[in-house]
Structure 1
Amino acid sequence: MVQDKKKAVFRLLTSTSEAPGNLDISDTAREHEPDNFFRHVTSLSASKIADGLIDPKLVLSWLLTALGAPAGLLGLLVPIREAGALFPQMFTAGALRQFKHRKWAWAGGALIEGVAAIAMGLTAFMLTGAAAGWAILAALAVLALARSVCSVTYKDVLGKTIAKSRRGTATGTAGTIGAGAVLAYGVLLAFAGEDRLALVTGGLVLAGVLWVAAAIVFASLTEEASAPETSSSPVRRLAEDFGLLARDAQLRRFILVRALLTSTALAPPFMVALGTQTDTARNMFGGLGLLVVASASAGLLSSYVWGRLADRSSRKVLILTGLSGALALFGTLGLNAAGLLAAKAGLPVMIFILMIAYQGVRLGRSTHLVDMATAETRAAYTALSNTIIGTVLILGGGFSLVASFAGLTAVIAILGVMSAVAALFALGLDEVQSG
């Protein structure tokens, strides 16, 4: 009875009769797909909630400031979190490909993320000043490296356990659940008053518990064994993976589009800085809950829709997200020029639109990469693209220098152009879902 209800919900969410069709998974995987679908949704939902609870752009930035950490440490948060999770993948992917069941690598990475998040929470309870700042950055670096392991292996496990036409739905559903929970957390922050610091530090510990739970659930997936790939030296593996760029024009275009769409990840701090130039620190910190609510609302309203659209055409999702990102960024400049950006609804609306685009980028590029690759190339494509994007994000730190010399509006204009150009290049991507 329970299994029948689970299959009914599975069919409702995925709008499928489970006909074999072009599902690109084995008969055994298809038999376990409904159970695996819900395990993916559960573990990924827990991971996404945890991500929201430790958001470096918002939560950790506020926390370090509240703890009295040096201002210079704030600029290291996003590069450590984003680039640290992406850049190492080229060097770790070879070893991870030796795993017959790669779910264990993801579960191990999530477990380490949980320990690191709990360490951040304990640090916030026990330390202040520079010591707290450096300790939290160290824990964040460990968390980012563990995330790199999860990122390399997740798409491979997803590709083996969930059919092509339903992968975006699985990740989109998890995104919606995660965003709903983070939205509730943002509302609590908005009305926390003097208890905001305790709520933030408690959220870090809760994030750790959620990652541990995600590891346990993910380890219960029914995953068929993969044939371990022949081991080679990191240098040779690096050369082999970069050789894929020379042989696959679509991979080159996809990575270019994804690199240009990093504008949606890099822009929020500059938008917030532009919109709050006249705010006092008290007003900025008081708006933490509102910022979290705006970001989570965008994810809640768009994740499932983006996921369903990605299952039909991840190419079109990438085009739409590029256009949406450009709209938000140029809209920000327009409101600023009109003197309306500092209005009550000005900046939140622009952040909301940009976060909708950002959610689409994450779902669209993930689904496109999984579906364009084969079982043999999926791990290599993932590691290669993530390492290149990690490098791009590191270089993105240079926008702070641009802001110093040319101003915030110049940075936002450049990022807006990047987003628009991404949509243009995405027109040349293949419709991989119809293949």
Structure 2
Amino acid sequence: MDSNKKRLVAGLSLNKLADLLISAKTTLPALLVLLSAPSWMVGWLVPIRESGALLPQAVLSFYLRRHSARHVVWRVGMVVQIASALVMLLSVVLWDGVVAGAVILLALGLLSLGRSACSLTAKDIQADITKKGERGHLIGIASTLSGVVTVAIALPLIMLSDTFNMPMLMGILALSTMAFFATLMCMLPLRTHVDTGYTQADLFSVNFDSTVYKFIVVRGLYVHSALVAPYFMLQNEDNVGNLLPIYIGAEALATLLSSLIWGKLADKSARLTLQVAGILALLACVGLLLTQGNTLSISAGLFFMLSIAHAGVRTGRKTYSLDVKEGHERTELVGFSNTSIGLILLAFGALYAALTPMLSFSVVYIMAGFLVVAIVSTVLLPKEK
């Protein structure tokens, strides 16, 4: 493995570590609960985190039509994420309740904007350094390495879960901030220039084939593997101090154990990867509905299964988007599909926030139904290899 690939793997690993530690599915819900923020704020964490990272990407892809130096945009996005994580850490020190919750949601939105720039341009960096048939494996290696480090961090937290407190949670946020900074330093020497082929007259034209729209439909249904995650913790919100380190450990262990397998499978068929991951996510939801996650061990086991499934969904759709198009066509597929998914996430987030107090049954039933449709819908996707 050459030096650029090593830097890329290290950078992706550190970035994944930061994401795991500041997750909108584990750390931030627990943070809001411990800060006594309103429960409705918890329901907005995943939509803000995901949609904020996705919505701006169509505009960014237009901007990138005449800016071939993708590494510059990536660096700016990483600096924004570092600053946002610092704001979250500061908010814990200065405020609590509604004010702290509002500042954290705003900082999460800013972090997501930085993530948006990094996500879009990182695809170009990855594609420039690696070729088809290697990209899923590379993503798998990076995710596995981040999982190893996160498990090492989570184990002592699990052992101390009976005395888990706010200073420990602040330590997790601080580690995440440092991981973002290390990512920037590690990938700083990498440079990628993309020849877009656009003339001045074409800068704002839109001309997509059916693959883009099919990909958007399928991805839009698969967002439920992320949206459902906070509901696993809310099932046992009275035990959030015990659950958080276990959930962090479960998510990291799932990433560690499954990422290489998902990567290998995605290099064979990203569509099949999505199908298998979707079935696992559905089984986790069914398990939650049947058991209500009424013990820590059951809740942790089901969240572990969901985390394995979500790792598969992420690897499958990332590898598909890398392989199905080339050059700036890939950038635009990623950009416009991500913006569309951002809108879909906000729509689903608003829907579930409105339905939750009205329904006599869990919204997880509805989410499980959408996962069934997602699994079936993968047949729409053209082969990417």
Deviations 1:125-155 (A, max 9, x none): 2333333222222221211111111111111
Deviations 1:202-256 (A, max 9, x none): 22222222212212222212535535744579xx73xx44x41xxx223222221
* C-alpha deviation, 1:356, in angstroms: 0.9
2:352 alignment partner, one of 380, 392, 399: 399
Deviations 1:300-339 (A, max 9, x none): 1111110111111111101111222222222332334xxx
Deviations 1:113-133 (A, max 9, x none): 112112221222233333322
What is the correspondence of 1:14-413 to structure 2 with a 5 Å cutoff? Answer: 34-192=2-160, 193-194=162-163, 196-224=165-193, 226-227=195-196, 229-230=198-199, 237=204, 240-241=205-206, 243-244=207-208, 248-273=209-234, 275-276=235-236, 281=238, 283-336=239-292, 341-397=293-349, 398-409=351-362, 411-413=363-365
> Are the aligned partners of 1:62 and 1:285 in contact in 2 as well (CA < 8 Å)?
yes
> Are the aligned partners of 1:261 and 1:419 in contact in 2 as well (CA < 8 Å)?
yes
Deviations 1:255-296 (A, max 9, x none): 2111111111111222333x43xx6x3x23222111212222
In structure 2, runs of 5+ residues without a counterpart are: none
- The equivalent of 1:6 in structure 2 is none
Give the percent of matched residue pairs that are identical in Structure 1 and Structure 2: 32
* C-alpha deviation, 1:55, in angstroms: 1.1
Distance 1:271 1:157 in 2: 35
* C-alpha deviation, 1:92, in angstroms: 2.0
- The equivalent of 1:29 in structure 2 is none
Deviations 1:20-45 (A, max 9, x none): xxxxxxxxxxxxxx222211111111
Distance 2:106 2:358 in 1: 30
TM-score (norm 1): 0.82
Amino acid at match of 2:336: L
Distance 1:430 1:46 in 2: 33
* C-alpha deviation, 1:347, in angstroms: 2.3
Look at both structures and tell me which one has the larger radius of gyration over its CA atoms: 1
Distance 2:263 2:86 in 1: 31
> Are the aligned partners of 1:118 and 1:207 in contact in 2 as well (CA < 8 Å)?
no
In structure 1, runs of 5+ residues without a counterpart are: 1-9, 11-33
Moved more, 44-53 or 319-328: 319-328
Distance 2:369 2:36 in 1: 37
* C-alpha deviation, 1:430, in angstroms: 2.8
* C-alpha deviation, 1:195, in angstroms: 5.3
What is the correspondence of 1:420-435 to structure 2 with a 5 Å cutoff? Answer: 420-433=372-385
Distance 1:271 1:153 in 2: 33
Residue 352 to residue 39, structure 1, CA distance change in 2 (3 Å): same
* C-alpha deviation, 1:418, in angstroms: 1.7
TM-score (norm 2): 0.92
Amino acid at match of 1:210: A
Amino acid at match of 2:17: I
Deviations 1:149-181 (A, max 9, x none): 111111122112211111111111111111222
> Are the aligned partners of 1:322 and 1:357 in contact in 2 as well (CA < 8 Å)?
yes
Amino acid at match of 2:224: S
Amino acid at match of 1:47: N
Distance 1:364 1:103 in 2: 24
Residue 69 to residue 421, structure 1, CA distance change in 2 (3 Å): closer
> Are the aligned partners of 2:233 and 2:240 in contact in 1 as well (CA < 8 Å)?
no
